[in-house]
Chain A
Amino acid sequence: MEWNGYTGNILNVDLTRNKISIIKENLEDIKQFIGGIGINCKLAAELIKPGIDPLSEENVIIIGTGPMVGTITPGASRVVGISKFPASGAIANSCGSMSFGFHLKQAGFDHVIISGKAEKAVYLEILDDHVELCNATDIWGKDIVETTDRLWKKHDGSCGVIAIGQAGENLVKGALTLIDKTSTFGRGGLGAIMGSKKLKAIVSKGTKGVSIADPKEFNKLYKKLIERIRNYPHRKSWIDLGMLRSLPIGMLLSMKGQKKKARQCSDRVYLKKLKKRRIACPSCPMADKDILEIKEGKYDGLIHYTSSVINPFMMMTLDSLNTYDETINAFDLINRYGLDSLTITTLFQFLNDMNDKGILSKSDMGFEWKCDYNTLIKLIEMIAFRKGFGDILAEGWKKLADMNETMATEMLVVKGLDVVFEPRLLRLGTMEFEQVVNPKGAHVASGGSPTYVSSGGSMERFKTHFRRMGIPELAFNKIFTPPRKEMGINVGRLTRYSEDWYTVLTSTGICARAQMNRFWSLESITAFYNAITGFDLIQEDLRKAAERVWNLLKIMNMKEGFSRKDDKFPKEWFKPLKFGDNELNFQDFYGSTTITTEIANQLLDDYYDERGWDKINGQPTLEKIKELKLEKYL
């Protein structure tokens, strides 16, 4: 048959046997599961055996893209990876962007399955039909930036590269990978999984093209959408500032009473002192990736790529960092080694608190703790190379929790992953809540929803967004019925639909960031999807496929032993957070109610209920599994 949007091919790479083959996709599967995250999940359910060690030869990595990737569809460049992650022990997905997915599609593949373990260090090269496992002994031991630069150079600066650094090689459980040395991919240990397989990098470069089914309809849809984007009044400021526009870190620091530091991460510092070049993922009209350059002082000349300047700026919430250039330098080191900046930030703060309280000391850590820049750099090196106490930290939060009861209760961790968004600071929106129920552990990407887009918004504004996301009208009433009336919104129920919406975006390949996803609706995605693939689906088919995928992800993790007991709100959230001179409480989205454990449990009940899951064990019911035709995966 003729494939449009999809290539119809899955690349199958067995590292142990050095064997490469192609699996043809099945149309029925694609209609049931849809693209990137969907088919990835289906393959994972078939290939990852329950109970395996994530860092053993038995684990499998599946990387995939959606049918819109490789076309001009605005913002469609996402790539999804699924595997069993070492930080949490969960089978989970992770997303990234930049040019890997684009090139993979252009090379003629929708997904890549990587199994086994190579005898010696290798990297996988996918150049159209030429697929090869190449010797990587000369890049093993190099950091991500150097590895990527070398591979780019080999391919005239035009290929997608997923690479690991020393942290991945040394099996640091939270090690991630970077795509094109810019986009983080695989929080929770994808870097370590690649390291365990002796796979240093994956290169994709394609020249085959992606065809679409209905050019006339596509033209109409594209022109209409791109004109809307072109005329969006805030487009210019998004392009000037990128994500800094949505999360002004300086404001947070000012709130904390750190005005001097706030100036170090202001718009002005970014624009005048750091911004070198704005870059975009393929097809993106809202370019937001940063090339930064330090132009003065000790780190003069440092060039740094990041998916947004807010990533390093977020680290400035640490008391050990005072200037923008030290921050960028520390962040650059974290990226080069393939560590996770969010985890390092939370960990440093936690170790500092534990030292202050006398729970950790020199005898545990092997060195005198200081809350300063040099200690931060030392810690980064110790973890990446598993030196001294860094060897324990490299094992992740669980190992630290085992050391001491107080540490176990005070860490802000869900299922082995540290919390990214602190609800005592930001209140309880869907992103904060989803960190508790996400099968992966504390993770924010799939919780994006109107609680962000219309922050503090009216019910009417919410409804507009609900319709955009394709939430059935029948569900509106329940979403507007929270455990306490004054809360306005039931984030438990709404999170179910945020996850489904995220799954639709991640299946088709569209970026989930607010500035891009705001231009899309379930209606427009369905129209583009049909024009591209030639299928004749209705919105409900896509929404249902998304629900199916999320349930399948949950089923896989049921088999790994996860249940409601793991969907646990960190205990610390229920205590006030000291923030400068302020004490912040755990409050609902409108700041009208303090969230108690009772309300939190009710929100969990409501989330499971909205999903049609069993409230006692927090798992899909047999009825739900049958409705979604997933019985064979039980």
Chain B
Amino acid sequence: MSPNIIINEEKCVGCRICQLWCSYIHKKVFIPSEAYIQVKNVYDLNPKISFLDGCTNCGQCVEYCLYGALTLKEVED
């Protein structure tokens, strides 16, 4: 559960870059099945993005999603 990331599934193209990058920085292997972000039904009309327990809120998936499907929530003071 990432409380800090806003998901916009309409913009998702199913490239899995977020999953690849998350697994790589946290597990040192390109293993999207073990990423803390999961994109299901990648090529469906309606893909589903979710965050798993263990997500550190590092924001790296947001940084590398080049399609605007993930954005960071504004931090309130």
A355 within 8 A of B: no
B15 within 8 A of A: yes
A316 to chain B, nearest CB (A): 25
Q: For residues 264 through 285 of chain A, which have their beta carbon under 8 Å from a beta carbon of chain B?
A: 276-285
Contacting residue for B42 out of A72, A106, A158, A210, CB 8 A? A158
Give Cα A207 to B19, complex, Å: 12
B45 to chain A, nearest CB (A): 6
Given contacts A157-B44, A182-B43, contact A72 B30 (CB under 8 A): yes
Contacting residue for A71 out of B20, B43, B67, CB 8 A? B20
A391 to chain B, nearest CB (A): 35
A383 within 8 A of B: no
With a cutoff of 8 Å between Cβ atoms, the chain A residues found around residue B64 in the complex are 226
A70 within 8 A of B: yes
Given contacts A157-B41, A157-B42, A280-B15, contact A209 B31 (CB under 8 A): yes
Residue of B nearest to A215 (CB): B28
With a cutoff of 8 Å between Cβ atoms, the chain A residues found around residue B1 in the complex are none
Produce 1/0 per residue, A88-121, CB < 8 A to B: 0000000000110010001000000000000000
With a cutoff of 8 Å between Cβ atoms, the chain A residues found around residue B16 in the complex are 102, 282-283
Q: Report yes or no: B20 in contact with A72, Cβ–Cβ below 8 A.
A: yes
With a cutoff of 8 Å between Cβ atoms, the chain B residues found around residue A180 in the complex are 43
Report whether over half of chain A's contact residues are helix, strand or loop; otherwise say mixed. loop
With a cutoff of 8 Å between Cβ atoms, the chain B residues found around residue A229 in the complex are 66
Given contacts A72-B24, A180-B43, contact A280 B13 (CB under 8 A): yes
Q: Report yes or no: B40 in contact with A209, Cβ–Cβ below 8 A.
A: no
Q: For residues 589 through 632 of chain A, which have their beta carbon under 8 Å from a beta carbon of chain B?
A: none
With a cutoff of 8 Å between Cβ atoms, the chain B residues found around residue A209 in the complex are 23, 27, 29-31, 33-34
Q: How many residues of A contact B (CB 8 A)?
A: 39
Q: How large is the interface on B (under 10, 10 to 19, 20 to 34, 35 or more residues)?
A: 20 to 34
Q: For residues 50 through 100 of chain A, which have their beta carbon under 8 Å from a beta carbon of chain B?
A: 70-72, 98-99
With a cutoff of 8 Å between Cβ atoms, the chain B residues found around residue A182 in the complex are 43
A150 within 8 A of B: no
Q: Report yes or no: B42 in contact with A99, Cβ–Cβ below 8 A.
A: yes
Residue of A nearest to B28 (CB): A215
B23 to chain A, nearest CB (A): 7
Produce 1/0 per residue, B20-64, CB < 8 A to A: 110110011111111000001111110000000000000000001
With a cutoff of 8 Å between Cβ atoms, the chain B residues found around residue A212 in the complex are 30
Residue of B nearest to A235 (CB): B66
20 residue pairs bridging A and B, Cβ less than 8 Å apart: A72-B20, A99-B43, A157-B40, A157-B43, A158-B40, A158-B41, A206-B33, A207-B34, A208-B31, A209-B30, A209-B31, A210-B30, A215-B24, A226-B64, A226-B66, A279-B42, A279-B43, A284-B15, A287-B67, A291-B45
Other CB < 8 Å A-B pairs besides A72-B24, A157-B41, 11 of them?
A: A71-B30, A156-B41, A157-B44, A207-B31, A209-B31, A209-B34, A215-B24, A230-B66, A279-B43, A282-B16, A291-B43
A interface residues with partner B (beta carbon < 8 Å): 70-72, 98-99, 102, 106, 152, 156-158, 180, 182, 206-212, 215, 226, 229-230, 239, 276-285, 287, 291, 303, 305
